[in-house]
Amino acid sequence: MPVYYRSFAGSHLDVEVAQHRIDGSLNRSEDRVRTIIAKLRRLKLIGGPQGNSRKLLFLMTLTSKKKTKRSSSDSRNYSRTKPLKRARAIARRLKETYHWPKGSSINVAEMLQRAMDQFKWFYDQLGGISKAGPTKKVRGTAKNLLEYSFLSHDEYAERWFENVNKTIAGWPEWSGNMKMFEFAYDHKKFVQECEEKLRECGHYDPQERFQQIKELMDESRSQS
């Protein structure tokens, strides 16, 4: 028996048709169908004629698979990144201004470029979630983070590595491994900063709110 959900026009479509619309092809992969069914059940969009079109739109956005090579926007990508002019300029200023122990300045330009790319990705994801997130609470959280006074991508990356330098300069036992300071939206220090911003917005549950944002970004990254 087919599982149904309500489309934007109000008609009932089985999961195979949903698969066509999401993938834009006639590929009826059983694994993909099972994945879609699980997500529809989790969002309570199946089992009857009623459905939430906003949730479904967001689900379709997350599950659209593009056969593209994972780029530097993946926060787990530590491969070599060619720094652009702006990142090289910031790195040069940081090297001239601060002492970098144990040869830690070697990869600063590359790490800066990845941090700038990552922060832009995070900001772009917030923009999408603020408009098409699955609940009003999630959309409101994303808007709060967007409206709060984040710095520009390059300014934030520069501040991030200024703080990195402060940490390693006062840490004699540091091993010299810079990977622990690679910026990512789920880095412990960045999560704490976002939760503090949400707390300042008057939310009593900043950890729960940011966790919801993080889970959506995790899902988006896994589908990229």
Domain of residue 188 covers 85-222
My answer on whether 101 and 188 are in the same domain is yes
My answer on whether 211 and 151 are in the same domain is yes
The pLDDT of residue 4 is 32
My answer on whether 129 and 215 are in the same domain is yes
Mean pLDDT by 10 residues, the chain (224 residues): 34 38 42 62 55 52 43 44 90 95 91 94 94 96 87 88 94 92 96 95 95 96 85
Q: Is residue 215 part of a domain?
A: yes
Q: Is residue 70 part of a domain?
A: no
Q: Is residue 164 part of a domain?
A: yes
Q: Is residue 73 part of a domain?
A: no
Q: Record the tokens describing residue 192, joined without a space.
A: 């704490």
My answer on whether 146 and 42 are in the same domain is no
Q: How far apart are CA 27 and CA 18, in angstroms?
A: 11
Q: Is residue 80 part of a domain?
A: no
Q: How far apart are CA 196 and CA 49, in angstroms?
A: 41
- Beta-strand ranges (E) seen in 107-222 are none
My answer on whether 139 and 179 are in the same domain is yes
Q: Is residue 71 part of a domain?
A: no
My answer on whether 92 and 59 are in the same domain is no
My answer on whether 51 and 109 are in the same domain is no
Q: Which helix or strand (DSSP H or E) is residue 13 part of? A: strand 12-14
The pLDDT of residue 80 is 57
My answer on whether 211 and 113 are in the same domain is yes
Number of domains comprising the chain: 2
Q: Is residue 160 part of a domain?
A: yes
The DSSP letter of residue 75 is: T
Q: Is residue 69 part of a domain?
A: no
pTM of the model: 0.66
Q: Would you tell me the crossing angle of helices 108-132 and 206-222 to the nearest 10 degrees?
A: 100
My answer on whether 120 and 151 are in the same domain is yes
Question: Which of 194-205 are b and which e, b meaning 16 or more Cβ less than 10 Å from the residue's Cβ?
Answer: bbebbeebebee
My answer on whether 89 and 46 are in the same domain is no
Measured on CA atoms in the order 153, 159, 162, 167, is the torsion positive or negative? negative
Q: How far is CA 129 from the centre of its chain?
A: 10
My answer on whether 92 and 43 are in the same domain is no
My answer on whether 91 and 148 are in the same domain is yes
